[in-house]
Structure 1
Amino acid sequence: MATHDERSYLDEADEVYVRARWRNQFSNMAKLPLHLQAKIDSRKSVLERYGEGSRGHGESSGSRAVVKLEKDSGNKLIRQVYSGDRVENSVLGRQERLIVQKPSWHAPWTVTRVINGHVGWVRCVEVEPVDNEWFATGSDDTTVKIWDLASGKLKLTLSGHVMAVRDLAISERHPYMFSASEDKTVKCWDLEKNMAIRNYHGHLSGVHTVAVHPTLDLVVSAGRDSVIKLWDIRTRLPVMNLVGHKGPINKIRCLPVDPQVVSCATDATVRTWDITAAKCVKILTHHKRSVRDLALHPSEFSMVSACTDDIRSWKLPEGLLLTNFESTNTGIINTLSVNHDDVLFAGGDDGTLSFYDYKSGHKYQSLRTKQVPGSLESERGILCGSFDRTGLRLITGETDKSIKIWKQDPQATPTTHPGLPWNPMLASQRF
């Protein structure tokens, strides 16, 4: 039996853990979006603004809308919007707020550099996460190439796979890069020796995706055999198998907190996994077709997934639907990426680049990529894409075997480039 002092220490430790989890997962929800807060502040008098500054953000009695985090009877954190003396928790209240909300303006994107070097389709791209100085690409030509991000020059070519390289993952904690290939293997590359030092064998078919756990020494891979495998980095032994998908797995992502693994597959589902219990926690069945990619938001606890003509964002860890994006005519979407400025990029199989405001779901820019000279028009397709760590550059890999780097137009203003019109009454803005 634990003594009274031991129980009190355990209760204090549990309380510290719960507070830390709440702060990490819900701190971004503790205040209104900037554009809504600016609109509310513009309606206040000078005295009210001064009083709010002295009492703290979001606590003024003159404020028309205040967001507060409270605990309900089940000791769960809830988000309530106070409007005067009323509390708006209803579905109709949320719809009204979505309609009133206007998307933030973002500058349009233009291509600044075209890089050639691969002799096959560029299947994957990954930016170095520590110094943001280089990026790696994998191709159907079985090679992995390292490029300088500033100049676009080729630094290194890594050969070792015997079939197409489908995905790459670069570790933040180790000098390692992992590659997944259709030759059924995952390779670990030592970036200090520029050579493959480990092979992970165990998949029964081609490996489509690989990810590195941000806090544990685990590599997660999945592919055509519909099984997610967790590997110990050092021993190369499979630690765990996660079984549940009914079709080939297209993409997996790892998180430092639960759910620590998220996956999407051709069975039109997105699944979140508890690796402690080795089981599926949540199955999201909202999509109707193969879910080809999913991306994590870099600063808030949410993710976005895409299938043909359908892009949706989800709140984690519950897996609640946040936004339906304007994506009814986007076609087959191969890749997604989100930056810190709440810009969502979606790359299509027909070469269409779509840019969205992440918060509202508004598509503000859509353009078609141009194939390199000597390529057919049918080879105009985007297979992969990723923002760099600053979010100021977008790198895409395409079916014309080229790599393109995109940047926002520095001369653009809301007056000169207003973007596509915003219509909050569209059917796609359901929730």
Structure 2
Amino acid sequence: MPDSFFASTKNRKRKRSVSTTEGARGAKKILRKGKSSSQDTKLANASTRRGVRKATDEELNSDRTDSEGGGIDDIDLRADVQPETSGDEDEQETPAEKRLRLAKLYLDSVKDGLAEGEFDAAEIDRELISERLRQDVLEHSGKVHLFVADLYDFTSTSPLRCRGHRFSVTSAVASDDAQFLYTSGKEGTINKWSLQSGRKIAAFYKQRVSKGKEKALPQNIQGHTDEILALAVSSDGRYLASGSKDRRVGVWDVEKDEWVKGFGGHKDSVSSVAFRKGTQQLYTGSFDRTIKLFDLSAMGYVETLFGHQDTILCLDALRGETAVTAGARDRTIRFWKIADESQLVFRGGGRSAIRELLEGGAFDGHEDEEHVNGVEVDGPKSSKGKEKMKESKYAEGSIECVAMIDETTFVSGGDTGSICLWNTQKKKPVYTQTLCHGFHEVQSSTEGLVRTPRWITAVASLHYSDMFVSGSWDGNVRFWKLDQKLRSFSLVGSIPAPGVVNSLQLLVLPKGALDGASWREREHQPTTKSPVQPALLVVGLGQEHRLGRWLSVKGEGVMNATTVHIIYPRTQTTPKP
């Protein structure tokens, strides 16, 4: 063998060693970045293979000579591989740089497509996600940030009527995405409705048990055995919670339309249920004067809270670890700090001599001239003002309902017909509006015309906004607007609601939701862009109050049904020709 052959072989070995070392160093450099994912391992292996391939290429190139006739060293042993043409190739380009270059090329092609009028669904999704994140940030602040009451038109529109219960509707709630509606009745049935078609798509019926065995219900009963008093839907729309007179809390998987679990523990009827917004934590209130907390992510019981001296009639919760409850005839509203297991007590009603003595205060036997038995009296201190005080002197015996506006502000309604605005920084109501739904008049043979205020049977708020609604049995649901400083509120509109309003829900209609609903064909059509989305109002109606038969309303148009109204922005509605 000639000496040149050995020299060429040594050079090839040395170059192969150097090139392989460079490939290994590149692989180690990728791994030294602290990443341990399988993708990085692939990059390291690819870098090693690239170094070996480069050594092989250099070896084959070094074997070539310029001598005529050639020989084995002149043969190119490499396969004829077509190089990738994805932009400007660079031999020194790293995998990360290549991915970045390819991504830029893809974005450029997307922009070119948009210039030609193509539809970019990804961009629409990014806008929706951005809007949702912005809304979540504002809600996490826990304060009112939507001042929208002046932007809505409260004129009556053709509502969706859902009639599927033999007796009064006790509760009605829509999912946050406005796709489904759930209603419950005194006969013990839960109906599931499609808000797109307005039709019933599923039903969960009352289970029959033998008489005398209601107090010891077997665990395998797949449903409730008595009247259902309250419903709540989780924020993700997966679970429906129900409270019943059978003292159980029911959990339903509404995606599969089946019973999941029944929680016991309450010693009396479960009158109210509410989910903590954005979670699967469930709060329940009962006639046994306790609140219980359940975690549906683990399908387990968490704790029990005590404090009320009478039955709990209503409960509401938002995003924070707090809740508010109305305690009926103990005339208190309690603001619960769940994490601290503590409570703030807000007392309604008028001044009491016994209460003054128990709390160590002086009582002179005279009522406050500005507040008489929990009713705020406006006007100057004159003879007319005194007459007005006497006329408006109604003793508040029960607080019936409560609704949270933000994390520190809430409203309540009672049997005096008054609505009170509360703040956690003040023990007394910030503002009280009297006789919100007028008088109920009864002709007596001995007393003549007896006038009593219609009590507030339900309240609900558009969360984190300046708008809330109230219901009674005067035939209307009324809309109220809070002032900018959250110190008072005023009436801004009403819509018809024949019967006893047993349930109210108010929520913002998601963008694009119900656009194709068949029952909206005769509704007002959007013509111009509005700064707010339409709102959805769900009203549960009945001929009787949801908790008893002491109140019965009959007449033309009164029905056991649920009505769904779309409240349009003023600048977005125009009658369809």
Cα distance in 2 for partners of 1:317, 1:220 equals 24
Q: Deviations over 1:330-366 (max 9, x none)?
A: 4121111223663321110343322222335222334
Q: CA deviation at 1:27?
A: 7.9
Residue 336 of structure 1 aligns with an amino acid whose one-letter code is V
Equivalences for 1:349-428 in 2 at 5 Å?
349-359=473-483, 360-366=488-494, 368-370=496-498, 380-390=499-509, 392-399=535-542, 400-408=559-567
SS class of match (1:270): strand
Cα distance in 2 for partners of 1:411, 1:236 equals 44
Cα distance in 2 for partners of 1:236, 1:168 equals 18
Q: Establish whether residue 337 from structure 1 lines up as the match of residue 463 from structure 2.
A: no
Give the corresponding residue for 2:320.
257
Equivalences for 1:107-122 in 2 at 5 Å?
107-112=153-158, 113-122=160-169
SS class of match (2:171): strand
Q: Deviations over 1:122-177 (max 9, x none)?
A: 11111101x22111111112111111223321121122222111111111247211
Contact 1:175 1:191 in 2 (8 A): yes
Give the corresponding residue for 1:212.
275
Q: CA deviation at 1:214?
A: 3.0
Q: CA deviation at 1:411?
A: 7.9
Counterpart of 1:127 (choices 157, 174, 180) is: 174
Q: Deviations over 1:397-427 (max 9, x none)?
A: 11121112234477899xxxxxxxxxxxxxx
Q: Using a 3 Å threshold, how does the CA distance of structure 1 residues 234 and 198 change in structure 2: closer, same or farther? A: farther
Counterpart of 2:294 (choices 217, 227, 231) is: 231
Q: TM-score, normalised by structure 2?
A: 0.49
Contact 1:269 1:291 in 2 (8 A): yes
Counterpart of 2:190 (choices 139, 144, 160) is: 144
Cα distance in 2 for partners of 1:234, 1:411 equals 41
Cα distance in 2 for partners of 1:173, 1:368 equals 31
Cα distance in 2 for partners of 1:248, 1:221 equals 12
Residue 273 of structure 2 aligns with an amino acid whose one-letter code is V
Q: CA deviation at 1:396?
A: 1.0
Give the corresponding residue for 1:59.
none
Give the corresponding residue for 1:295.
403
Q: CA deviation at 1:110?
A: 1.5
Cα distance in 1 for partners of 2:153, 2:280 equals 39
Contact 2:419 2:433 in 1 (8 A): yes
Contact 2:314 2:400 in 1 (8 A): yes
Residue 561 of structure 2 aligns with an amino acid whose one-letter code is S
Q: Using a 3 Å threshold, how does the CA distance of structure 1 residues 326 and 152 change in structure 2: closer, same or farther? A: farther
Q: Using a 3 Å threshold, how does the CA distance of structure 1 residues 191 and 218 change in structure 2: closer, same or farther? A: same
Cα distance in 2 for partners of 1:411, 1:139 equals 35
Contact 1:184 1:206 in 2 (8 A): yes
Q: Establish whether residue 306 from structure 1 lines up as the match of residue 430 from structure 2.
A: no
Give the corresponding residue for 2:358.
none
Q: Establish whether residue 158 from structure 1 lines up as the match of residue 204 from structure 2.
A: yes
Cα distance in 2 for partners of 1:125, 1:291 equals 21
The sequence identity of aligned pairs, in percent, is: 21
Moved more, 155-164 or 274-283: 274-283
Cα distance in 2 for partners of 1:115, 1:215 equals 28
Counterpart of 1:348 (choices 448, 472, 481) is: 472
Q: Deviations over 1:58-112 (max 9, x none)?
A: xxxxxxxxxxxxxxxxxxxxxxxxxxxxxxxxxxxxxxxxxxxxx9475223251
Cα distance in 2 for partners of 1:22, 1:137 equals 27
Q: Which has the larger radius of gyration?
A: 2
Residue 125 of structure 1 aligns with an amino acid whose one-letter code is A
Residue 279 of structure 1 aligns with an amino acid whose one-letter code is S
Give the corresponding residue for 1:373.
none
Q: Using a 3 Å threshold, how does the CA distance of structure 1 residues 26 and 215 change in structure 2: closer, same or farther? A: closer
Q: Establish whether residue 24 from structure 1 lines up as the match of residue 141 from structure 2.
A: yes
Equivalences for 1:72-87 in 2 at 5 Å?
none
Q: Deviations over 1:268-292 (max 9, x none)?
A: 2110112223232333435533222
Cα distance in 1 for partners of 2:489, 2:144 equals 22
Q: Deviations over 1:230-253 (max 9, x none)?
A: 123255543222111111101112
Q: CA deviation at 1:114?
A: 2.3
- Alpha-carbon RMSD: 3.2
Moved more, 133-142 or 217-226: 217-226
Q: CA deviation at 1:307?
A: 1.1
Q: Using a 3 Å threshold, how does the CA distance of structure 1 residues 367 and 235 change in structure 2: closer, same or farther? A: closer
Q: Using a 3 Å threshold, how does the CA distance of structure 1 residues 354 and 237 change in structure 2: closer, same or farther? A: same
Q: Establish whether residue 271 from structure 1 lines up as the match of residue 334 from structure 2.
A: yes
Cα distance in 2 for partners of 1:357, 1:242 equals 33
Residue 362 of structure 1 aligns with an amino acid whose one-letter code is S
SS class of match (1:332): coil
SS class of match (1:362): strand
Counterpart of 1:171 (choices 230, 234, 242) is: 234
Residue 248 of structure 1 aligns with an amino acid whose one-letter code is T
Cα distance in 2 for partners of 1:27, 1:402 equals 32
Q: Deviations over 1:357-408 (max 9, x none)?
A: 23352223346534xxxxxxxxx22111212432523221111211122344
Contact 1:352 1:381 in 2 (8 A): no
Relative to its length, the structure with more strand (as a share) is: 1
SS class of match (2:141): helix
Cα distance in 2 for partners of 1:202, 1:144 equals 22
Aligned residues: 311
Contact 2:156 2:496 in 1 (8 A): no
SS class of match (1:109): coil
Where does structure 2 lack aligned partners over 5 or more consecutive residues? Answer: 1-136, 206-222, 350-373, 375-395, 439-453, 510-533, 543-558, 573-577
Relative to its length, the structure with more helix (as a share) is: 2
Cα distance in 1 for partners of 2:310, 2:144 equals 36
SS class of match (2:316): strand
SS class of match (1:142): coil
Where does structure 1 lack aligned partners over 5 or more consecutive residues? Answer: 1-19, 35-102, 371-379, 414-431
Cα distance in 2 for partners of 1:387, 1:242 equals 28
Q: Using a 3 Å threshold, how does the CA distance of structure 1 residues 233 and 367 change in structure 2: closer, same or farther? A: closer
